[in-house]
């Protein structure tokens, strides 16, 4: 009886009989059973039935997406010696670190001599039976133009680079190369984000070639540290970030919002190492010390005029001294040229509090003569034209931006978009304020 036969035999037993069988197994038999994935996997981690082309696992962090992907590839490689599999991640480094060498990756889910030989220089894995898998970077879409595959595993597709439509181009090139074998298939595993590729795959849900599996972090509670689960639920359980990152929910745009999540994702970049012409720390002071946030957002502009959002350093429920020190720390860390602070709430008090916190940066007090949304509209236009980038992910700030409505109103989290307002002040100072230019005047 093979390991697969033993595993299926045990699975088919009643729970009480299964327990007796497990206790009666020899050590080598227990090891074989440990390697039999269908015995341990949850049903949502196993391939769905039907003649599908794309299987999308859209679930929260810690759900077990990587293990499901690795085991799916392993099953194909062992059953189909002619298989040619593409392993695609945001970068080659991530493909190797997560999909191949990670704790739940391909090398970890094999036992003994049955595993593949990994040749890093060739970006290739070769199984004893002859199946092969090759690593690709979604950031280099042209590398997927030409190679042919029978299967593909695409990891964290919502993290793929969306600038210049790289993610969509990489996906399209991969699809056009899936032409080996009788039934080419692709598995995409990801924590959801409202990026164009995700929206295309989900569509209206009527495409029979696409099967979607959804799941939350808590579904894998048995294999996650109790303290991790508790901390995540306490910190993010009721937030938009928690709905996305833990519950695996794709957050929908609010109709009529100035910013959409697709727009923000289109403007995102992982890092920026170039020169910055100016850096400001923008501050929207809280109206009270009873739970309101002090919006503190670091913005910059490059010599070419491209805006960069560098950090959301906002604090909540602090005293004036505490939020002023947070402003001073952000200004010092980023070597800011200026602090821009709204003075409507407290006027001269804002300046005195910042000075008392040893904030030595030049300070500009700005006064709101229009509502928050009216001030935000020209900044949103900068995003639409691709002139602003978020260097990293700022979940709470982005939730507030996506709650500002065209024509007025706010439908985001909290009572007021303090973080978003600070961002608007910062980018307005850097990119929309007219500055006097020296000129020679005839007389």
The tokens describing 334, both together, are 């980023």
Q: Could you count the other beta carbons within 10 Å of the beta carbon of residue 85?
A: 24
pLDDT above 50 for 443: no
Q: pLDDT category, 339, cuts 50, 70, 90?
A: very high
For position 18, what pLDDT does the model report? Answer: 64
Q: Are 155 and 66 in contact (CB under 8 A)?
A: yes
Per DSSP, the three-state class of 432 is helix
More confident residue, 77 or 34: 77
pLDDT above 70 for 318: yes
pLDDT above 80 for 356: no
Q: Are 163 and 306 in contact (CB under 8 A)?
A: no
Calpha distance 297→334 (Å, rounded): 11
Calpha distance 54→60 (Å, rounded): 19
pLDDT above 70 for 3: no
For position 343, what pLDDT does the model report? Answer: 81
Q: Are 59 and 129 in contact (CB under 8 A)?
A: no
Q: pLDDT category, 164, cuts 50, 70, 90?
A: confident
For 119-157, the pLDDT digits (tens) are: 999 999 999 999 999 999 999 999 999 899 999 999 999
Q: Are 299 and 318 in contact (CB under 8 A)?
A: no
What's the DSSP call for residue 27?
A: H
Give Cα 320 to chain centroid, integer Å: 33
Range in 53-62, 93-102, 392-401 with the lowest mean pLDDT: 392-401
For position 389, what pLDDT does the model report? Answer: 96
For position 262, what pLDDT does the model report? Answer: 83
What domains appear along the chain, each with residue ranges and CATH number?
41-243 (3.40.50.300), 261-432 (3.30.420.240)
Q: pLDDT category, 205, cuts 50, 70, 90?
A: confident
Nearest residue to 83 (alpha-carbon basis) of 121, 127, 48: 127
Calpha distance 214→48 (Å, rounded): 12
- Strand-pair partners of 178: 149
Q: pLDDT category, 357, cuts 50, 70, 90?
A: low
More confident residue, 129 or 293: 129
pLDDT above 90 for 381: yes
For position 345, what pLDDT does the model report? Answer: 60
Helix (H) or strand (E) holding 242: helix 240-245
- Per the prediction, the chain carries an average pLDDT of 86
pTM exceeds 0.75, yes or no: no
């Amino acid at each position: 009886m093979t390991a697969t036969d033993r595993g299926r035999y045990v699975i088919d037993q009643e729970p009480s009989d299964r327990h007796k069988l497990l206790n009666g197994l020899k050590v080598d038999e227990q090891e074989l059973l440990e390697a039999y994935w269908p015995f341990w996997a949850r049903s949502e981690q196993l391939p769905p039935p039907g003649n599908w082309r794309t299987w999308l696992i859209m679930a929260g962090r810690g759900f077990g997406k990587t293990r499901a992907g690795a085991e799916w590839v392993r099953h194909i490689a062992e059953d189909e010696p002619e298989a040619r599999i593409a392993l695609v991640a945001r970068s080659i480094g991530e493909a190797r670190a997560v999909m191949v060498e990670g704790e739940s990756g391909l090398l970890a889910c094999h036992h003994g001599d049955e595993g593949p030989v990994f040749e890093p220089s060739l970006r290739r894995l070769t199984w004893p039976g002859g199946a092969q898998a090759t690593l690709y970077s979604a950031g280099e879409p042209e590398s997927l133009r030409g190679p042919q595959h029978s299967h593909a595993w695409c990891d964290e597709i919502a993290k793929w680079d969306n600038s210049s439509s790289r993610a969509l181009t990489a996906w399209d090139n991969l699809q056009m190369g899936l032409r080996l074998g009788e039934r080419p298939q692709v598995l995409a595993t990801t924590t959801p984000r409202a990026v164009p590729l995700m929206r295309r795959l989900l569509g209206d849900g009527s495409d029979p070639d696409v099967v979607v599996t959804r799941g939350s972090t808590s579904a894998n509670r048995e294999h996650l540290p109790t303290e991790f689960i508790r901390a995540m639920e306490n910190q993010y359980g009721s937030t938009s970030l928690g709905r996305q990152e833990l519950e695996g929910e794709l957050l929908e745009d609010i109709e009529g919002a100035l910013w959409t999540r697709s727009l923000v994702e289109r403007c995102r970049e992982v890092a920026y190492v170039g020169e910055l012409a100016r850096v400001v720390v923008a501050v929207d002071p809280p109206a009270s010390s009873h739970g309101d946030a002090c919006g503190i957002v670091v913005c910059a502009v490059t010599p070419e005029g491209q805006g960069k959002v560098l950090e959301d350093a906002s604090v909540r429920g602090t005293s004036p001294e505490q939020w002023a020190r947070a402003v001073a720390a952000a200004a010092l860390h980023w070597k800011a040229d200026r602090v821009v602070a709204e003075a409507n709430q407290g006027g001269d008090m804002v300046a005195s509090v910042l000075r008392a916190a040893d904030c030595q940066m030049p300070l500009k007090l700005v006064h709101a003569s229009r509502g928050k949304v009216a001030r935000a509209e020209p900044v949103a236009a900068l995003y639409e034209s691709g002139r602003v980038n978020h260097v990293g992910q700022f979940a709470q700030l982005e939730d507030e931006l996506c709650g500002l409505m065209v024509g007025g109103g706010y439908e985001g989290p909290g009572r007021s978009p303090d973080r978003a307002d600070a961002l608007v002040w910062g980018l307005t100072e850097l990119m929309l304020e007219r500055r006097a230019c020296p000129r020679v005047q005839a007389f």
